Homo-oligomer: A and B are copies of this chain.
Amino acid sequence: MKIAIYGYGNLGRGVELAVAQNPDTELFGVFTRRAPETVKTVLDSTKVYAASDITRYKSDIDVLVICGGSATDLPKMTPALAADFNVIDSFDTHADIPKHYAAVDAAAKQAGKIAVISVGWDPGMFSLNRLYANAILPDGKDYTFWGKGVSQGHSDAIRRIEGVADARQYTCPVQAALDSVRAGENPDLTTREKHTRLCYVVAKEGADKARIEREIKTMPKYFSDYDTTVNFITQEELDRDHKGIPHGGFVIRTGQTGINGAHKHVIEYSLKLDSNPEFTASVLVAFARAAYRMNTRGETGCKTAFDVAPVDLCAMNRDEIIAHML
C-alpha cells in the first residue's frame, strides 16, 4: 500500500517514521507547499514533491495522509483532495466536525473514494473508547482528562505576551479528581477542578515578570478558569528540559448494572505518550490501511473511527488475528 503525506510539519514527519515501521506500507513521498528542494526530510530516502503537482500522481498513491491544521487548512484541503484520493485527516475542532463531515462526504462519494476524518487520539482513540463504554454501560457517566502534556495553543498564547521570549505550557489532570472518578463517586467537576496549567516562561531581558505572570493567569479562555503556575526559567533550561512534545490522558466511564444499579463498573482507557505527533501519526497510518481496504471493497464516502471494523486496522491477516489476539 502506497501512502503519501500532504503537509510536512511535526505530524508529517511522524507519518514518515510510522510508515517505515509497518511491513505493508510504503511511502510514495511528501507533498509540500514550500519549494521541495528546501525541505529536509527525516529519512534520506523520502522524496519531496510540490503540493501543486499532486493530481499528477493520482494513480500512484493508495492513501493520502493530510497533515494540515484544523483551523484553516483541513476544512479546504480534505474535501478538495478527496476528489482524487483516499484521504485521512486528524481534524480536531470537535464543534465543527459535522460541517467538515458533510463537505468531505459529498466530495468522497462523488469521486468514489474513502475519506476518514478526525483520526488521532482525541478525536480518535478517545472517541472510540467513549463509544464502546457508552454502548456497554448505557447508565453511566463519562469523564475525559488530558495530560500531563504540552498544549501548543497555550504555549503560543503565552509567547504572544509582550516581554516573553519563549514558553512551554503543560496541561495536567488533577489527581484528586481522577481518584474521585475512579472510586465511582460520580463527581460533577468544574473546569478548575479537572485540570491545572503549568507554564515555563523565558522572559526577555528587563521584562516585568510580575506583569507577564499576571497577564498569563488572567487570560480569558486559556488560563483564567484554571489554577495556573508560572515558572520563569532560562532559554537554556527550556531547551534542555522542555523540548519534547509529550501528551496523554484518560477516558473513564463509570456506570451501573443490576437491580437498582447495585453493581458499579469502571472502564478506563489511558495514554502516556512521549511524542504526541508521532503517536497521532501512528494512528493515522493504521486508519490509512483500513481506508484502503474499505475502498478496495467498494466502500466510499466519509468515515470516522466509529465506522472502521478493528480487523481492518491491523497488518496481520484475519485468521491470525482471531487465533492469536481474541
Contact = CB atoms under 8 A, between A and B. Distances in A.
Interface of A: 14, 17-18, 21-23, 42, 94, 97-98, 101, 118, 123, 125, 127-132, 134-139, 182, 257-259, 262-275, 278-279, 281-283, 286, 289, 304-311, 313-316, 318-319, 321-323, 325-326
B306 A321 contact: yes
Number of copies: 2
Given A18-B257, A135-B314, A326 B306 contact: yes
Contacts of A311: 131, 304, 306-307
A90 to B, nearest CB: 12
B130 A286 contact: no
18 contacts: A17-B259, A21-B138, A97-B322, A97-B323, A97-B326, A98-B322, A101-B322, A125-B136, A127-B325, A128-B132, A128-B310, A257-B281, A258-B275, A263-B275, A266-B273, A268-B268, A268-B271, A304-B326
A127 B326 contact: yes
Q: Interface majority SS on A: helix, strand, loop or mixed?
A: helix
B279 A265 contact: yes
B326 A118 contact: yes
Given A97-B322, A306-B326, A322-B98, A131 B257 contact: no
Contact of A279 (B123, B130, B257, B309): B257
Contacts of A270: 266-270
Contacts of A132: 125, 128, 310, 313
Contacts of A289: 135
A283 B137 CA distance: 8
Contacts of A21: 138-139, 257
B306 A306 contact: no
A322 B310 contact: no
Given A266-B271, A306-B311, A309-B308, A130 B97 contact: no
Contact of A274 (B135, B263, B305, B321): B263
A182 B98 CA distance: 36
Given A283-B136, A307-B309, A94 B326 contact: yes
Contact of A42 (B94, B127, B259, B321): B259
Contacts of A123: 326
Contacts of A268: 268-272
A130 B325 contact: yes
Contacts of A182: 272
A325 B131 contact: yes
A314 B17 contact: no
A125 B127 CA distance: 15
Given A263-B278, A279-B136, A305 B310 contact: yes
Nearest to A257: B278
Contacts of A323: 97-98
Nearest to A92: B326
Given A21-B138, A313-B132, A265 B272 contact: yes
